[in-house]
């Protein structure tokens, strides 16, 4: 067994961007690990560390050397290796010279495809010490850094200036240069509590040493949980619970090496404002955790974190309280000013805001969404007047001072202002829910009018942007059409809304008055929607074969699509499934390739097996009719599973493409009769692997 030691690499820098710290850490770790794999170096557990001032990777039990290898290089074919006199050809001699050897040292390789000259060379594995520096340099060069910087007279580039680099293999330093720095075994602790150099004697002591001597929690995940726990402890002291969202928790973790909680307070008068505004201000602007009571109501406190143990924590508290006061005062002013004008009055100004130059203004969009919302409401037996009112007021809050200052409370402020104006509560809720789901995995609209408005608004954006040719490409989706489409599908499926998505896309497209190819655009946007449906279904645990089985018959209602998909998944687990899938594929191929059309009705059948199959098919057709009428696709497929043995007997004993054309047409009609029963649910031939 090869010699093994732990490897530690740490890069120390100025404070790294907090929102990308985790991304950089993961990319660096993945780059080094992939480099070890490519170099064929053995290794054990991998640990990543990330703080505001460092990125580090610890590789346990890294092999000291690569394994020795035999490298083979294939040369000319054997028949071209000799001239007509039997001497080595120029090609053969040239190949030997390119390998640094002579012709007589070459070997021959024989395969089923021919014979060649071959050169084999034993290559001794390089040491990890030789390979690691370049692996690390390549990993750093490949980091996803949008804008690199230089500092001083250094020509190296990184996201922030770097100050030290640790590279230890076992207890020994690997001497090299990383970003212009000579590697060593000395790290730095907390900028204020432990600024002196700290010598690392062995890699495995890294995290403990930084904590004990450097006052730094190096492990990101450990630090995050410490912050979570300390935030809740601090909130409990003022009678509340810390309101913690994961994105902010990660950002605060990336800002602190030695997190110390500080409780701040604000004037209770601000609690009269919408809590979402206060929470947005505390989270987005100040990186504070709001404090709520057990019912979720906001309390007049917040939790912030200091990156040091202050000798005067009260001063830090007062400083943060002073900073938050003017922001809350601004929000209070906006709230009072905005309520002087009802939302309905603001809709007139939507005509002055361009939605998209070819699609018109927000007023134009509003009128289209109104018509779509009314159409959807009628289909769902909902109140079209409420849907119309919600659509009319949907974008009005975009013109308020509050939303202008805090864009992420759009919709939410619309709900507050609508209620203040005396609008119907369902209309007010719908204004907020038009933007649901707000992100991947978050809730869809819960109210019927909210669901209608959410679908209508997203449909208009999706079809409109497609109509002007601004389709998403690769990873570029400036209008967030993928997210909008998934939002439509999730709203339809998760709320069991029985709507025809293809029909809705067509209605939405035909509202636009600019010149474009409506038929071609409808095909494009429909394909786009079903590709998003594919992604959604795969994430829900269905496989490609199951999706294709349902997609083959093109159900136009997503909720119906899912019901069929669930039935196919359940059917595919039956012992009869594989045989029936193969039989259906065979039937499909026979019907496609036959030069005889199936008879209009099953007529001349003579063999016992085919007569029995006809009887079975007629009975199953009668049995599944009420099941299909009730949408019981699983029950129908379970019933069709009983046709397995008669189908097997038919194919074992009956020649379909016989000489008698009338008999052949009847047999084809029998197969078509059976296939059509399955195709009322899905094309199960797609299940065959």
Query: What CATH code is assigned to 355-540?
Result: 1.10.3210
Predicted confidence at residue 453, as pLDDT, reads 98
Q: How far is CA 361 from the centre of its chain?
A: 32
Sequence-distant (≥ 6) Cβ neighbours of residue 125 within 8 angstroms? 40, 65, 66, 67, 68, 69
Which stretches of 602-657 are DSSP H helices? 608-629, 633-640, 644-653
**Mean pLDDT on 191-203:** 95
Mean per-residue pLDDT, 232-239: 97
**Number of C-beta neighbours around residue 662 at 10 A:** 12
Predicted confidence at residue 154, as pLDDT, reads 83
Averaged over 481-492, what is the pLDDT?
Answer: 97
- pLDDT tens readout for residues 363-408: 999 999 999 999 999 999 999 999 999 999 999 999 999 999 999 9
pTM value?
Answer: 0.82
Q: Measured between alpha carbons, how far is 560 from 553 in angstroms, rounded to an integer?
A: 12
DSSP reduced 3-state for 110: strand
Q: Regarding predicted confidence, which is higher, 76 or 350?
A: 350
256 close to 52: Cβ distance less than 8 angstroms: yes
List, for residues 45-89, the tens digit of each pLDDT value: 999 999 999 999 999 999 999 888 777 788 888 877 788 777 888
Largest CA distance in the chain: 105
Q: What is the pLDDT of residues 455-473, one digit of tens each?
A: 999 999 999 999 999 999 8
* pLDDT, average across residues 79-103: 82
pLDDT of residue 132 exceeding 80: yes
The pLDDT of 131-139, averaged and rounded, is 97
Strands 4-13 and 162-169: antiparallel
Res. 242 pLDDT band, cuts 50 70 90: very high
Residue 81, pLDDT score: 77
589-644, pLDDT tens digit by residue?
Answer: 888 888 777 777 777 888 899 899 999 999 999 999 999 999 999 999 999 999 99
Q: What is residue 395's predicted lDDT score, i.e. its pLDDT?
A: 98
Q: What percentage of the chain exceeds 90 in pLDDT?
A: 80
Judge if the upstream peptide bond of residue 437 is cis by omega within 30 degrees of 0. yes
Where do the domains of the chain lie? 4-66+127-214, 69-123, 221-338, 355-540, 571-687
- As its CATH architecture, domain 4-66+127-214 has 2-Layer Sandwich (3.30)
Contact assessment for residue 617 and residue 673, using Cβ atoms and an 8 Å cutoff: yes
- Residue 255: the pLDDT is 97
User: What is the C-alpha separation between 333 and 343, in angstroms, rounded?
Assistant: 17
Under CATH, what is the fold of the domain 571-687? Isoleucyl-tRNA Synthetase; Domain 1 (1.10.730)
Other C-beta atoms within 10 Å of 225: how many? 14
CB 272 within 8 A of CB 398: no
Digit-coded pLDDT (tens) for 293-304: 999 999 999 999
Average pLDDT over every residue of 90-94: 84
User: Tell me, what's the pLDDT at 487?
Assistant: 97
User: What is the pLDDT of the chain when averaged over all its residues?
Assistant: 94
Segment 31-46, tens digit of pLDDT:
999 999 999 999 999 9
Closest CA to 202 of 248, 171, 169, 236: 171
DSSP bridge partners of 123: 69
Q: Across residues 320-344, what is the average pLDDT?
A: 96
Quick one: pLDDT at residue 1? 53
Per DSSP (E only), the strands in 113-176 are 114-123, 162-169, 172-173
Report which DSSP code applies to 594: -
Tell me which residue of 192, 225, 223 sits closest to 207, measured CA to CA. Answer: 223
């Amino acid at each position: 067994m090869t010699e093994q030691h732990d490897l530690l690499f740490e890069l120390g820098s100025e404070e790294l961007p907090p929102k990308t710290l985790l991304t950089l850490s993961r990319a660096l770790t993945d780059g080094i690990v992939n480099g070890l794999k490519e170099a064929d170096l053995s290794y054990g557990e991998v640990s990543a560390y990330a703080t505001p001032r460092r990125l580090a990777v610890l590789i346990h039990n890294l092999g000291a050397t690569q394994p020795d290898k035999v490298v083979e290089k294939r040369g000319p074919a054997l028949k071209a290796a000799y001239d007509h006199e039997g001497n080595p050809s120029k090609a053969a001699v040239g190949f030997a010279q390119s390998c640094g050897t002579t012709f007589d040292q070459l070997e021959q390789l024989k395969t089923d495809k021919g014979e060649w000259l071959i050169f084999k060379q034993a290559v001794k594995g390089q040491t990890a010490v030789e390979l690691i520096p370049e692996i690390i340099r390549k990993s750093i060069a490949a980091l996803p850094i949008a804008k690199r910087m230089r500092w001083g007279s250094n020509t190296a580039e990184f996201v922030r200036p770097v100050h030290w680099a640790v590279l230890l293999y076992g207890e020994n330093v690997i001497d090299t240069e990383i970003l212009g720095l000579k590697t060593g075994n000395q790290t730095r602790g907390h900028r204020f509590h432990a600024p002196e150099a700290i010598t690392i004697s062995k890699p495995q002591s890294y995290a403990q040493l930084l904590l004990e001597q450097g006052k730094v929690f190096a492990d990101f995940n450990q630090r995050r949980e410490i912050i979570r726990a300390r935030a809740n402890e601090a909130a409990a002291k003022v009678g509340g619970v810390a309101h913690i969202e994961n994105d902010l928790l990660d950002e605060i973790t990336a800002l602190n090496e030695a997190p110390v909680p500080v409780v701040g307070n604000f004037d209770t008068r601000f609690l009269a404002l919408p809590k979402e505004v206060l929470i947005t201000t505390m989270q987005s602007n100040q990186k504070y955790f709001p404090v709520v009571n057990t019912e979720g109501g906001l309390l007049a406190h917040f939790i912030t974190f200091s990156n040091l143990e202050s000798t005067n924590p009260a001063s830090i508290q007062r400083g943060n309280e002073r900073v938050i006061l003017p922001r809350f005062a601004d929000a209070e002013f906006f709230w009072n000013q905005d309520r002087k004008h009802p939302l309905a009055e603001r809709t007139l100004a939507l005509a002055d805001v361009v939605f998209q130059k070819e699609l018109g203004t927000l007023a134009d969009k509003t009128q289209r969404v109104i018509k779509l919302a009314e159409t959807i409401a009628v289909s769902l037996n909902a109140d079209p007047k409420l849907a119309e009112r919600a659509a009319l007021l949907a974008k009005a809050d975009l013109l308020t001072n509050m939303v202008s200052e805090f864009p992420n409370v759009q919709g939410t402020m619309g709900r507050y202002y609508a209620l203040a104006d005396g609008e119907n509560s369902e209309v007010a809720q719908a204004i907020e829910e038009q933007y649901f789901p707000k992100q991947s995995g978050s809730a869809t609209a819960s109210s019927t009018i909210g669901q209608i408005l959410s679908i209508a608004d997203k449909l208009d954006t999706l079809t409109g942007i497609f109509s002007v040719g601004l389709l998403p490409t690769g990873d570029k989706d400036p209008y967030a059409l993928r997210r909008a489409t998934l939002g439509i599908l999730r709203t339809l499926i998760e709320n069991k809304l029985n709507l025809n998505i293809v029909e809705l896309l067509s209605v939405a497209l035909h509202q636009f008055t600019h010149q474009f190819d409506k038929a071609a655009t409808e095909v494009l946007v429909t394909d786009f929607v079903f590709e998003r449906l594919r992604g959604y279904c795969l994430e829900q645990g269905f496989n490609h074969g199951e999706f294709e089985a349902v997609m083959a018959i093109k159900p136009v209602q997503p909720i119906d699509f899912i019901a069929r998909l669930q039935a196919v998944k359940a059917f595919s687990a039956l012992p009869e499934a594989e045989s029936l899938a193969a039989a259906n594929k065979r039937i499909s191929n026979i019907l496609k390739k036959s030069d005889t059309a199936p008879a209009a009705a099953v007529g001349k059948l003579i063999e016992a097996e085919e007569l029995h199959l006809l009887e079975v098919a007629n009975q199953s057709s009668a049995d599944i009719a009420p099941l299909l009428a009730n949408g019981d696709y699983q029950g129908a497929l379970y019933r069709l599973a009983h046709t397995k043995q008669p189908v097997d007997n038919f194919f074992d004993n009956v020649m379909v493409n016989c000489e008698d054309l009338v008999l052949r047409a009847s047999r084809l009609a029998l197969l078509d009769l059976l296939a059509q029963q399955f195709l009322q649910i899905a094309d199960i031939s797609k299940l065959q692997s």
